[in-house]
Chain A
């Protein structure tokens, strides 16, 4: 009797192994666990046996039944999984068909760069402020130590609104620096702000010159601010934008409204410092002018230059995407050709 049960079990498991789909599994269940299965027959036949044998056989038969049931469950699971892992042919997709199109929008590369720049300085505690594009001669020049007939006016070819009015003339700002004065007129130290915006020049356009471009002006004024702080701030900035590896050069330069004055350049990305057309064979690309706010400028807005000091910087925005993406013509920025804009 017990031998017979053992054989039944072995045979059922053997058959189960060969089952490949749910239909076969159902047939298997009917055959081995159904009302007409051999196992049921054995169980029924137990009634004719002596008590002791009946008890032993019954226990064994129930044990095998349970074992088969759990094997069945396992097999069911396996088949189910197999169903999802190898789907039916009719459900198969040509996954190489293109996806449904979505309209894609992008920010202008200048604004992408502006966002990046502003984020770096925001994290350093600078507020983002804007100012007027149409300015007084006073803010654009005079208050920045560039009076009428100052030789530094040569550095700023100007588009004028009013011609020949001297200090009372309106103009299109040639840089974002007038906002240094407006900021300091409105606020007392500590001041920490950046001013993104447009600037304009009376200039024939070519691959490296535009009549309109974007700048970011920076200003920090308080007690104890030094040129070393300016250097640190700008080095930090360059690292954020151009990576740790890029060389940064911090050299003396002249702007009438700062003293000492600074120019910051980064190692040319095109030639790695060896010299090429992009960097005029110098190995360096100028990205911003800076310096300590000139004491006369501070005094003009009633900030005591003996007590307070500050730094200012002006950064050309388009240069950053130009350097990063190797754009060799600044005129592409504001001619707004979608074939250009969609690359960024």
Chain B
């Protein structure tokens, strides 16, 4: 809402500077987004009258204008199509500070010759003066604009741009804002009495109003004026509309807009003679009914849309926009002026249904009080009689089927203290509430107030609302600053599992960052195409949840894994990175179906099960050279065993031991991927990304990948780490080299070695294939550490164990010692 300081001063004395006022309003909840000073730069602009217009000798579209500035006459070249003899215009002298209409930048007017004719200055458009963006023609002032007066003295003003919160439709009006200022600055609010002459004939003899759907229209008021003359509004009115960002149209429409800005009540003027049957019916639209609205578009109506109709058809969409057929035109000589109240939700729904908004609808859709319409109607009638002539019919129509009776709210100083921490006495409370228009009655004890809410404050409904009113007017800066003194919540609660999960995630993040992985966070929403590309066959295993109104196709489906986000990030960064890339993300994936309920664990409600399962996953990808290019490092590409090493070390830090089975997840390159098994349960996968998938994401390098179910890990880590006493006895280390068939996996070898109780550690330290061993075989070099918790091992014991071990390895796997 834009509001003019000049206009506000009609209702309240303002002693603060515009900046101070803006600060007070902002602190009290009415945020001032901007302050625009109109006329601050107009020192060389004066008001003049066009007294002569001649064609330019060298250009058809230009004119030579002579402008009377009172003390002198100046000549200028003007190309504006709307310049006319006798107009009051703004004349900028050489040296004036203006806005360049093409670049929008500030300029200083310099002497110029236009097509051989010298100009002593120029006649300005609104844009050049910085009033608005209009540059179609020059600004034409009203005929009473005083010639010779500096423009700043006539049009200068300060415009506040306010961000009015949706609870305060009363502040979508000048009086509403003035009332706030009055309360904040301890000044009285000035309202003017409304009075006008009426005809003998009662309005009822001219027109009738019937509210057919009173659930959607609690009140409808109307006045009637005959003998009206349509014309332009006087300059002061046009100026005020302009200052609030509204375009002047004609005196009738301008008055309805002016009073709407003044009081916050939208009004509408119908051409009385175009209302068939001389009657107004407020009803739901019929199916198939249409209306052409003021903006010229024909709109199809449906039965849930509320319309204002005459005897035959809809003449306006209630609270949103008038119809073209009943519009006021220069032939109009009688008008019916509407000031009504409509159901807030209806207006909102109709607006979104019809995809239209208006100055009226943005007020109605915040919820206006049904007591509001009467005074603005009288005010508008008075103004119309003054500005457009004519006579008002006697009385007004006021159909008011649904009167609302608000209950008073009880409030004590104690309650203000309890909620705000601010100690105030009852007198201070009374002063604030009165200034805002609340009526208060003290009870007998003098400790409790019964507060009646003024009709323009329908947002105030309970004592907490009153507390806010008191505190914001006294000032939030006066609230003490204290620390929470209440007891801490219990450590163990139903919330603990969630807290543990977030601890685990933090731990995983830190471990992975420590391993050299960069954390990324990717969008929860992805394109269908990307989800499909995760499968070499372009199939979707899980059908993802779709957003009904996506912003873009790129963000249309909820991710069912973190894979697409990581692969896309890799692809994006490969363009800039020569070094290896290690990325990870920990985040939610969204699975439309929950796992089947196990009866004993049926603690999820139906409501929870209808939401997708949101599962925390960890996903990491590695690609490119293992180390940065360096004078001291190898430049081998990262591979499967880097990814596997990450998995092993990560789980190890959590106190878990992983084993690995051959994996068949479709993102894995067959033969180069594994399932991660902890405690006989699959917790994730690790392996090389299928080259077809990598290719689909336009990745040039091979990608290794790991994925872990964080929630499963959480169930496993609770209490798994236990202290192991340190052995007091020395260990014995032996190295062996085994020659074994290529098909035998290392895991089977290690399993046999580990089955001997004296074996403490097993480390594979070399894998050899080549000339020194037969074809189809490989050689493992393995370090075995033996230790007993009970005694010092003798060489004989170790020899014996190792012999048994080797014979088992030979019998079961065909392994032999390498010579």
Would you call B515 and A292 a contact (CB within 8 A)? no
Would you call A337 and B551 a contact (CB within 8 A)? no
* Complex: A254 Cα to B464 Cα, angstroms: 13
Would you call A236 and B483 a contact (CB within 8 A)? yes
With A105-B512, A105-B519 already in contact, the answer to whether A229 and B421 are too (CB < 8 A) is yes
Among B467, B495, B506, max chain A CB count under 10 A is at: B495
* Complex: A232 Cα to B486 Cα, angstroms: 14
Interface residue A243 (Cβ < 8 Å from any Cβ of B):
no
Interface residue B202 (Cβ < 8 Å from any Cβ of A):
no
Selected contact of A101 from candidates B28, B488, B558, B633, CB within 8 Å: B633
A-B contact count (CB 8 A): 277
Selected contact of A98 from candidates B519, B523, B551, B630, CB within 8 Å: B630
Would you call B582 and A133 a contact (CB within 8 A)? no
Residues of A within 8 A of B (CB-CB), count: 99
A299 smallest CB distance to B (angstroms) = 10
Selected contact of A227 from candidates B421, B501, B512, CB within 8 Å: B421
* Complex: A160 Cα to B498 Cα, angstroms: 26
Would you call A170 and B611 a contact (CB within 8 A)? yes
Question: What residues of B have a CB within 8 angstroms of the CB of A333 in the complex?
Answer: 521
Interface residue B514 (Cβ < 8 Å from any Cβ of A):
yes
With A159-B547, A309-B418 already in contact, the answer to whether A187 and B580 are too (CB < 8 A) is no
Chain A residue with minimal CB distance to B420?
Answer: A227
Would you call A251 and B29 a contact (CB within 8 A)? yes
With A151-B348, A254-B166, A259-B468 already in contact, the answer to whether A107 and B633 are too (CB < 8 A) is no
B713 smallest CB distance to A (angstroms) = 16
Residues of B within 8 A of A (CB-CB), count: 100
Give A262-293 interface residues, CB cut-off 8 Å to B.
262, 280-282, 292
Interface residue B484 (Cβ < 8 Å from any Cβ of A):
yes
Question: What residues of A have a CB within 8 angstroms of the CB of B166 in the complex?
Answer: 150-152, 154-155, 254
Give B623-646 interface residues, CB cut-off 8 Å to A.
627-628, 630-633
Stretch in B307-315, B473-481, B786-794 with 4+ CB within 8 Å of A: B473-481
* Complex: A131 Cα to B479 Cα, angstroms: 33
Question: What residues of A have a CB within 8 angstroms of the CB of B662 in the complex?
Answer: none
Interface residue A76 (Cβ < 8 Å from any Cβ of B):
no
**0/1 per residue, B401-430, Cβ < 8 Å to A?**
000000000000000011111100000000
Interface residue B27 (Cβ < 8 Å from any Cβ of A):
yes
* Complex: A25 Cα to B523 Cα, angstroms: 75
Chain B residue with minimal CB distance to A305?
Answer: B464
With A225-B484, A232-B481 already in contact, the answer to whether A252 and B468 are too (CB < 8 A) is yes
Chain A residue with minimal CB distance to B513?
Answer: A105
With A228-B481, A295-B462 already in contact, the answer to whether A251 and B27 are too (CB < 8 A) is yes
Would you call A159 and B550 a contact (CB within 8 A)? yes
Interface residue B367 (Cβ < 8 Å from any Cβ of A):
yes
Interface residue A335 (Cβ < 8 Å from any Cβ of B):
yes
Would you call A129 and B498 a contact (CB within 8 A)? yes
Selected contact of A336 from candidates B27, B480, B522, CB within 8 Å: B522
Question: What residues of B have a CB within 8 angstroms of the CB of A104 in the complex?
Answer: 516
Stretch in B116-124, B284-292, B388-396, B568-576 with 4+ CB within 8 Å of A: B568-576
Give A173-189 interface residues, CB cut-off 8 Å to B.
183, 186-187
A247 smallest CB distance to B (angstroms) = 12
B163 smallest CB distance to A (angstroms) = 10
Selected contact of A342 from candidates B518, B524, B551, CB within 8 Å: B518
Interface residue A111 (Cβ < 8 Å from any Cβ of B):
yes
Interface residue A132 (Cβ < 8 Å from any Cβ of B):
yes
With A127-B495, A232-B482 already in contact, the answer to whether A132 and B519 are too (CB < 8 A) is no
* Complex: A224 Cα to B462 Cα, angstroms: 19
With A159-B547, A187-B494 already in contact, the answer to whether A233 and B348 are too (CB < 8 A) is no
* Complex: A107 Cα to B509 Cα, angstroms: 7
Chain A residue with minimal CB distance to B367?
Answer: A151
Would you call B464 and A250 a contact (CB within 8 A)? no
With A111-B509, A295-B464 already in contact, the answer to whether A227 and B479 are too (CB < 8 A) is yes
* Complex: A293 Cα to B781 Cα, angstroms: 68
B411 smallest CB distance to A (angstroms) = 13
Question: What residues of A have a CB within 8 angstroms of the CB of B345 in the complex?
Answer: 148-149
Would you call A127 and B494 a contact (CB within 8 A)? no
**0/1 per residue, A47-72, Cβ < 8 Å to B?**
00000000000000000000000000
Interface residue A303 (Cβ < 8 Å from any Cβ of B):
no
With A130-B502, A292-B419 already in contact, the answer to whether A338 and B573 are too (CB < 8 A) is yes
Question: What residues of A have a CB within 8 angstroms of the CB of B580 in the complex?
Answer: 103
Interface residue B545 (Cβ < 8 Å from any Cβ of A):
yes
Would you call B611 and A334 a contact (CB within 8 A)? no
Would you call A149 and B349 a contact (CB within 8 A)? yes
Interface residue A35 (Cβ < 8 Å from any Cβ of B):
no
Would you call B523 and A212 a contact (CB within 8 A)? yes
Interface residue B672 (Cβ < 8 Å from any Cβ of A):
no
B575 smallest CB distance to A (angstroms) = 10
With A103-B582, A223-B486, A227-B419 already in contact, the answer to whether A187 and B588 are too (CB < 8 A) is no
Would you call B420 and A260 a contact (CB within 8 A)? yes
**Further pairs besides A106-B513, A125-B484: 4, Cβ < 8 Å:** A227-B420, A228-B482, A253-B165, A295-B462
**What is the interface of chain A, defined by CB distance below 8 A to chain B?**
97-98, 100-108, 110-111, 115, 124-125, 127-136, 148-152, 154-155, 159-163, 170, 172, 183, 186-187, 190-193, 196, 198, 200, 202-205, 211-212, 220, 222-229, 231-233, 235-236, 249-254, 256, 259-262, 280-282, 292, 294-296, 305, 309, 333-339, 341-342
Can you list 25 residue pairs at the A/B interface with Cβ under 8 Å? A97-B631, A103-B582, A105-B513, A107-B513, A111-B509, A128-B502, A130-B502, A133-B524, A134-B614, A149-B345, A152-B167, A172-B525, A192-B486, A198-B588, A200-B524, A226-B420, A228-B481, A251-B476, A252-B468, A254-B29, A260-B419, A260-B468, A262-B476, A334-B522, A336-B569
